[in-house]
Structure 1
Amino acid sequence: MKQIKLLSATLLILFILNSCNKTPHDKIMGSWDITKIENPKIEDTDIDAFKELNKEALDNEVFTFTEEKVTKKLPEASEGTWEMDEAGTILTIDWGEGDIMSPHSYTIKALTNDNLIIEEDFDDFIITTTFEKVK
C-alpha cells in the first residue's frame, strides 16, 4: 500500500512539474479570443472611431494556433503560418499574399496559459492586443 501511495505522489509531482514547464510555443497553442485592442498614441478625438473600427474583432475574432498553422475569421476567414523565436518574445504571422502587410511581427509582452498580450509597432503608433485562451 505504501508503494502505491509513493508511486501516486511521485506521478502527481511529475505531472505538476511538467505542466509548469510549458514552453512559450506550447502555451500559445490553441484558440485565443481578443478581449482588448489599444493604441496609446491615439488622439482623444479619434478614440470613438478606433473603438468602432475594432468592435467586430473584439466581438467575434478568434485566433487559433496549431503546430504549423494559424487561423482567424476576420475580415475574412484566413489561414497563415506562424513562428516564434526561441526566447518566446517575438511572434511572426504570415497571412500570405492576400495581406500586403505580411508578415506581421509582434512583440510578446505577456504569455501565460490563459493570457496573451502582443504589440505591433507601426512606427507612428503601436497596437497592443490582449487575448484570453478559449477554454
Structure 2
Amino acid sequence: MPQVQSSLSQLEGLCKASWEQLKLLDKADEKRKQGKGEKKRSQVDSSTDGTVRRRLPKFLKECEERLKVLRAVHRRVINRFHSFLLFLGYSRAMVRDIRAEDFCKTISDYRAYSGADDMSCQSTHYPCYNSSTCHHRSCCWN
C-alpha cells in the first residue's frame, strides 16, 4: 500500500502549503490595510472575500483532521492484513515483504483457475446440470 501512503503524504503537503498561502494572504491583507492612498473596494467584494477568508481556516482544519483519521484507518487495515497473513502461516519476514495487492492478485488468480467464480451449484444452491463445466460434480450429478 505504498500508493496510499504516498497519496496521503501528497494531501498532507498540499494542506500545509495551503496553510502557508493563507498566512501569506493574511500578511498581504494587513499590509494593504496599513497602506495609504488605496482605492476603496466595493462593499460586495470585501464581504465575499471576508466570508471565504473566514471559511478557509475551518476547511483546512477539517482536512487535517480527516487526514489524521485516514492515516489511522490505513495503519489499522495494514495491521489487520499482517495479522491475517500471520494467521495463515506466513513468517514475519514474509509478512513484511508481501504487498496486499500481490496477495489479493494471487487469491484472485487461484479463484479464476479453480472455477470458484463460475455461477455453479455451490454458489447458487441450485444444481447446474452442466457436467462439462461444473467443478462440483459430486453435488450436481444425480
TM-score normalised according to structure 1 size: 0.25
- Indicate the structure with greater helix content: 2
Which structure ranks higher in relative contact order (CA pairs < 8 Å, sequence separation ≥ 6)?
A: 1
